Amino acid sequence: MPAPDGWQLAGVSDGAAMLAAPTMEEAAAHVPEGATVRLSLPVSAVLLERMHLPSVSREELDGMVVLQLEKTLPYGGEELTSGFEIIQQHETESDLLAIAVSNEQLDDLCAPLRTSGKLPTQVAVFAMQLAAKFPLDEVLALIFREGGATILAIAEAGKLVAAHACPTVDGGDFLAELPRMLLAAELEGAPVNFTKIAIDRGLADWAHDIEAQLGGSPAILISLNEPPDPGRINLVPDGWILEQQRVAQKAKVRDWLFLAGAIYLFLLLAAAAYVIWLQRQVSTLDSQVVQATPAVDALASQKARWAALQPAVDPTKFTVEILQQINKSIPGSDLHVTVFTHNPAGSVAPTQSTFGAASTSQGQNATVFMVEGEAPTADMANQYLDALRANPDLSAFHFDAGLPEILPNYHAHFRIFARP
């Protein structure tokens, strides 16, 4: 907000005293990153014009104010940012104070703030914010300094109704200009019969003379060091609003990209951690396999020894028992077993013969025993093979046989091989 020696900053940090900066560049440097900036303009930076318009509709008044300002100022509607405060309304007309600021001048003033990405979200007039602090039932003359000027502002019912700047900070010069300023305010329709005079504490030496010149109205001293309220009128240009929306959108996109990058990095780290865990698990399993290999080899060796010893301890594998079951399975007394060969290790060599070559070659390395004989018919030889296969006491063996050979006497010669 404006100050006698430049710009005054309030609320730059919790509990901090008001800071003064002679230029906007220095003021912008004191504003923290990400802070919400509200700018209070001096009276000299804006146009204040009292208007009487034939409408009570706020939408219609807005258009009328813009048209009246375009007639008064050398600017088009797009080059201005304006607002108004209604002072009084009657049935068909409104008495209001219009406020306008040049967008170009505002851009120049706030260039340091734009450069540092701290454009204001609220632009108000300090005199209007100051007037709003006083009771609604009073008419006040507000006297304070803004830069190199002394301001006479008139507040009625908590609203600014007139404001004039005297380009001096000398008390004598101000008092000399005060009658002219009061007359101009009265011609604008502002009341000049004040219930109180509010004077900045820095101008306390002027209080007695001002009281005397304003008809003896009581003077009170006020402090301008408190941050003003935002105010009812915002003079932020439309271009600033669009610019701030773009900046906010970019910030939002940047935040989303940062979040997406963080999630992607987290997933990469999680995947890397999972791979490391799998590698450790594989290493642990490899170590367990290495440790278990001797035990597995020992079990395999023991299994082989038991397999070798099984014929000696399993009664069903005894030669006598097998021979008994072979004889038990003979389907008739006319079938004779002529050769029986048993080798528990499974290496029975085939007997030289001109028949059964295919069957013999298939089982010669795994044959446990072999039965050879003669049957009156080929059918009985096949019955004998089926009987051996059906014998439950020989269920541990698989039987193979070639086609029986028909002998000159029309008997059938057979050879049967048993595998485990």
Domain boundary, last residue among 209, 226, 243: 226
Give which of 70, 95, 94 is closest to 82, Cα–Cα.
70
Query: Which H helix or E strand runs over 68?
Result: helix 58-72
Query: CA 133, 155, 200 angle in degrees (round to 5)?
Result: 65
Instruction: Find out whether 47 and 69 touch, Cβ atoms under 8 Å.
Output: yes
Indicate whether 285 belongs to any domain: no
Look at residue 18 in the predicted model and tell me its pLDDT.
Answer: 65
Say which CATH number the domain at 327 has.
3.30.1360.100
150 has pLDDT over 90 = yes
Same domain, 48 and 168: yes
Look at residue 272 in the predicted model and tell me its pLDDT.
Answer: 93
Same domain, 213 and 333: no
Look at residue 366 in the predicted model and tell me its pLDDT.
Answer: 67
Same domain, 40 and 156: yes
Token digits for 85?
Answer: 């405060």
Query: CA 243, 247, 253 angle in degrees (round to 5)?
Result: 145
Indicate whether 346 belongs to any domain: yes
Instruction: Find out whether 204 and 220 touch, Cβ atoms under 8 Å.
Output: no
Same domain, 200 and 341: no
Indicate whether 302 belongs to any domain: no
Say which residue, 114 or 73, is predicted with more confidence: 114
Confidence class for position 313, pLDDT limits 50, 70, 90: low
SS3 content of the chain, % helix, strand, coil (to 5): 45, 25, 30
Q: Is 94 exposed, middle or buried (0-12, 13-18, 19+ CB in 10 A)?
A: buried
Give which of 408, 399, 403, 388 is closest to 357, Cα–Cα.
403
Cα gap 335→388, rounded to integer Å? 14
Same domain, 59 and 208: yes
Quote the distance between the C-alpha of residue 143 and its chain's center: 53
> Is 0.75 topped by the overall pTM?
no
Indicate whether 234 belongs to any domain: no
Cα gap 270→267, rounded to integer Å? 5
Same domain, 217 and 338: no
Rg for the chain (alpha carbons), in Å? 57
User: What is the average pLDDT score of the chain?
Assistant: 85
Best-predicted range by mean pLDDT (300-304, 305-309, 390-394): 390-394
Indicate whether 124 belongs to any domain: yes
Same domain, 206 and 348: no
Q: For residue range 352-384, list pLDDT tens digits in order.
A: 333 333 333 344 446 789 999 999 999 999 999
Look at residue 351 in the predicted model and tell me its pLDDT.
Answer: 40
Indicate whether 311 belongs to any domain: no
Token digits for 127?
Answer: 């005199």
Q: What's the domain range around 378?
A: 317-419
Same domain, 34 and 178: yes
63 has pLDDT over 50 = yes
Same domain, 211 and 321: no
15 has pLDDT over 50 = no
19 has pLDDT over 80 = no
Look at residue 347 in the predicted model and tell me its pLDDT.
Answer: 52
Look at residue 243 in the predicted model and tell me its pLDDT.
Answer: 84
Q: What percent of the chain has pLDDT over 70?
A: 90
Cα–Cα distances (Å) from 67 to 78, 79, 81, in that order, read: 12, 13, 13
Work out how many domains the chain is built from and give that number.
2
Look at residue 356 in the predicted model and tell me its pLDDT.
Answer: 36
Indicate whether 255 belongs to any domain: no
Same domain, 218 and 322: no
Domain boundary, last residue among 226, 251, 282: 226
Same domain, 200 and 325: no
Domain boundary, last residue among 226, 245, 262: 226
Say which CATH number the domain at 111 has.
3.30.420.40
- The stretch 320-347 carries a mean pLDDT of 87
Cα–Cα distances (Å) from 314 to 307, 310, 389, in that order, read: 10, 6, 19
Cα gap 363→200, rounded to integer Å? 123
Q: How many residues does the chain have?
A: 420
Same domain, 56 and 205: yes
DSSP state of 397: -
Q: For residue range 154-171, list pLDDT tens digits in order.
A: 999 899 999 999 998 898
Indicate whether 290 belongs to any domain: no
Look at residue 195 in the predicted model and tell me its pLDDT.
Answer: 92
Look at residue 311 in the predicted model and tell me its pLDDT.
Answer: 62
Helix (H, G, I), strand (E, B) or coil at 324: helix
Instruction: Find out whether 159 and 143 touch, Cβ atoms under 8 Å.
Output: no
